[in-house]
Amino acid sequence: MLKRYLPLALSALFIAACAVNRDQQMMVLSYQAFGPQVTATEVLGNEWWQWQAHGDSRPRDYDVKVVVYRGISLIDVKAAYPVIEEKH
Q: Write the pLDDT tens digit of every residue in 46-78.
A: 766 556 666 556 656 667 788 889 989 999 998
Mean pLDDT over each residue of the chain, to the nearest integer: 74
- Work out the number of other CB atoms within 10 angstroms of the CB of residue 34: 22
pLDDT of residue 1 exceeding 70, the answer is no
| Residues of the domain holding 8 | 2-87
> What's the pLDDT at 88?
55
Give residue 56's pLDDT.
58
In this structure, the number of other CB atoms found within 10 A of the CB of residue 18 comes to 12
Q: What total of structural domains would you count in the chain?
A: 1
Name the band, by pLDDT with cuts 50, 70 and 90, for residue 31.
Answer: confident
Question: Alpha helices, DSSP H only, in the chain?
Answer: 2-18, 37-44, 74-80
Residues with Cβ within 8 Å of 61's Cβ and at least 6 positions away in sequence, in order, are none
**With a threshold of 0.85, does the pTM exceed it?**
no
Other beta carbons within 10 angstroms of residue 86's beta carbon come to 4
